Chain A
Amino acid sequence: MPRKTMIEAIRDGLDVMMERDKRVVVYGEDVGYFGGVFRCTAGLQAKYGKERCFDAPINESGIVGTAIGMAAYGLRPCVEIQFADYMYPAYDQLTQEASRLRYRSAGDFTCPLVVRMPTGGGIFGGQTHSQSPEALFTHVAGLKVVVPSNPVDAKGLLIAAIEDPDPVIILEPKRLYNGPFDGHHDRPVTSWSKHELGEVPDGHYVVPLGKALIRRPGAAVTVLAYGTMVHVALAAAEETGIDAEVIDLRTLVPLDLDTIVESVKKTGRCVVIHEATMTSGYGAELVTLVQENCFYHLEAPVARVAGWDTPYPHAQEWDYFPGPARVGRALIETMEA
């Protein structure tokens, strides 16, 4: 099977869908002629023409707003916000219009829109190029939220998102674009070409929204993670020797609660991790759900490891980033609690 980076897998997913479905249009800043700053759309304009893959001006609100209109009249826009940090001008359109078109028209209209945006840190982007705003989307009823952690999922989830009748936000961890970064910033990153999850099938396939995957089966403690933190969690389990069950949520909304509950009932312990700031983060939701559903099975308080409640720093990136050492400490504490 061909090995692909996450970038190539995403490009492939877009290609497959543009080929199959004439309603799919792809646009965003530097997306057409240039092929995207991360190259996720390279070659698509040459292949499908300027009518289907094109550049947008720098106006995120306009990009998402027009995409909602297109979606309302039957197109399948898949737009790129260059970095998740730039989505705020578009947030109004996403929360007030995209998320509620179905509801406010009592089902007469739907909004089959996909918004892709690179998320997270680890690239020295500082405060305006490292944010993880997933909780701002999961908080809004009517939006689906996807965070892939590897190439094979990235393609399958993207295709599922494009085929979904409702608006889907895909947050692509940019630190994972080229390899499975596990938080060890001082070591060279292995590339996806050396990783089994870099094996991306050709053609059309779907990774369904709302299905988590157990990346590492274990008996001692359940770790709930998504995106980059999946790889950090795997590294922490390895390094502490704790038999953690690492669950890659893959989609935050809809959430695969069954897989989570089954695992926590088995292990009796749970650690929730994300890169975004702690307070009111998606982890708070996960902890609550675990508590509500598994309370009598818990043998320790559910722990959270997250970014600190600070802006993402420039100079102190690795003090901020919840790397394997911090996650490992939480695993040990949870086992000892």
Chain B
Amino acid sequence: MASAAKRAPAKKADAKPGTNPTTPKPVEFNKQQELDAYRAMLLIRRFEEKAGQLYGMGFIGGFCHLYIGQEAVVTGLKMSLIEGDQMITGYRDHGHMLAMDMSARGVMAELTGRKGGLSKGKGGSMHMFSKEKHFYGGHGIVGAQVSLGTGLAFANKYRKNNNVALAFFGDGAANQGQVYESFNMAALWKLPVIYVIENNRYAMGTAVSRSSAETDFSHRGISFKIPGIQVDGMDVRAVKAAADLATEWCRSGKGPIILEMLTYRYRGHSMSDPAKYRTKEEVQKMRSEHDPIEQVKARLFEKKWASEEELKEIDKEVRDIVADAVDFAQTDPEPDASELWTDITL
């Protein structure tokens, strides 16, 4: 399978040789890692497919941004984290929450606006949190989370806890001014933050080339002396390798780092997007040649690490989790009217 990272070849890192990291080779996964990655990505895929269906049936209203196609990014990154590392992201957040082990029921019920939703129906698709799982949201305002993630990293450094904050944002979000304010502070204060730029080529209906002067997002930190690498975000092993490098970079006190994940969203931006700004062929090509889940599956078969039956077993397990979440999200009661007035200020 051709590497998706090849489509925008990284230019040579500018700084002194030996100081800046370069894109590492994909990690060789052992059997357990392949199976774990397969299951984690499949859970996101099936969850999102169901969310899309519930939306179509009218159980979910408003906005709902699916992560289908991008599963390898959050899955590979999560594999390198230690307890206490934080994630914060934008509104395309369901995958991140599932990767952080937040309950599928809680996420789905938030989508349907029920009492048992992670934000008790107050937040919806774009706004969910979990202190316990170190997930800091779910943010509907493009770019806002980047500064917040930088602040999380400051708190990590202040507390000397050896933790790293992962601030995720898109190719479109990368043009917001506060991103660069954050870069400067993070580099100045040597904060342990990984800026994960999920470059899925589009910001809504606008292709990267229509909105960005520098389309190699790994270079966006150059004037702040923040190193960046481009990663094949469709290959979970490549993501894991980059995640190992980046977490090590941050934990050893070298400050921030940028990981540009070359990825792709298969579905429309939100649910009501006819996606006329790209061709069906383009989508089909990514699906058939780069699908993150199919890649793992192919390797599992090739190495004879799993049979069809064994993968079906995982499939079933995942489908059961999702079915349970769907059931919960449809039957859980709506929040009590009194909830309208809670959690505003004390």
Binding site for B on A (CB under 8 A): 29-30, 32-34, 37, 55-59, 61-62, 85-86, 88-89, 123-129, 308-311, 313-316, 319-320
Task: Tell me, in angstroms, the Cα distance from A128 to B334 when the chains sit together.
Answer: 21
> Shortest CB–CB separation between residue B267 and chain A, in angstroms?
16
Q: List 22 A-B contacts (CB under 8 A).
A: A32-B210, A33-B277, A55-B206, A57-B172, A57-B175, A58-B173, A86-B141, A123-B62, A124-B63, A125-B62, A126-B63, A126-B124, A127-B127, A127-B140, A128-B140, A129-B62, A314-B119, A315-B113, A315-B117, A315-B334, A315-B335, A316-B121
| B1: Cβ under 8 A from any A Cβ | no
Residues in A neighbouring B277, C-beta threshold 8 A: 33-34
Binding site for A on B (CB under 8 A): 61-63, 113-114, 117, 119-124, 126-127, 140-143, 172-173, 175-178, 203-206, 210-212, 277, 334-335, 337, 339-341, 344
Task: Tell me, in angstroms, the Cα distance from A257 to B101 when the chains sit together.
Answer: 58
CB contact between A30 and one of B173, B205, B335 (< 8 Å): that residue: B205
Task: Tell me, in angstroms, the Cα distance from A315 to B141 when the chains sit together.
Answer: 19
Task: Tell me, in angstroms, the Cα distance from A56 to B339 when the chains sit together.
Answer: 39
> Shortest CB–CB separation between residue A246 and chain B, in angstroms?
28
Residues in B neighbouring A123, C-beta threshold 8 A: 62
Q: Are A89 and B178 in contact (CB under 8 A)?
A: yes
Residues in A neighbouring B175, C-beta threshold 8 A: 57-59
Residues in A neighbouring B212, C-beta threshold 8 A: 57
Residues in A neighbouring B173, C-beta threshold 8 A: 58
> Shortest CB–CB separation between residue A318 and chain B, in angstroms?
11
Chain A: which residue is nearest B344 at the CB level? A310
Task: Tell me, in angstroms, the Cα distance from A126 to B173 when the chains sit together.
Answer: 20
Chain A: which residue is nearest B112 at the CB level? A315
Q: Are A128 and B126 in contact (CB under 8 A)?
A: yes
Given A34-B204, A126-B140, A313–B340 Cβ distance below 8 Å? yes
Task: Tell me, in angstroms, the Cα distance from A128 to B125 when the chains sit together.
Answer: 11
Task: Tell me, in angstroms, the Cα distance from A62 to B210 when the chains sit together.
Answer: 16
Q: Are A313 and B206 in contact (CB under 8 A)?
A: no
Extra A-B contacts (15), CB below 8 Å, given A34-B206, A89-B176: A58-B143, A59-B176, A89-B178, A124-B124, A126-B123, A126-B127, A128-B140, A308-B341, A311-B344, A313-B121, A314-B127, A315-B122, A315-B124, A316-B334, A316-B339
Q: Are B177 and A62 in contact (CB under 8 A)?
A: yes
> Shortest CB–CB separation between residue A279 and chain B, in angstroms?
12
Q: Are A310 and B340 in contact (CB under 8 A)?
A: yes
Would you list the 9 A-B pairs with minimal beta carbon distance, nearest first?
A315-B121, A124-B62, A315-B113, A128-B140, A34-B205, A314-B124, A124-B61, A57-B175, A57-B211
Chain B: which residue is nearest A65 at the CB level? B177
Q: Are B204 and A29 in contact (CB under 8 A)?
A: yes
Task: Tell me, in angstroms, the Cα distance from A310 to B337 when the chains sit together.
Answer: 13
Given A56-B211, A126-B123, A126-B127, A85–B141 Cβ distance below 8 Å? yes
Q: Are A308 and B340 in contact (CB under 8 A)?
A: yes
Residues in A neighbouring B62, C-beta threshold 8 A: 123-126, 129, 314
Residues in A neighbouring B122, C-beta threshold 8 A: 127, 311, 313-315
Given A124-B62, A126-B123, A55–B142 Cβ distance below 8 Å? no
Task: Tell me, in angstroms, the Cα distance from A209 to B175 when the chains sit together.
Answer: 35
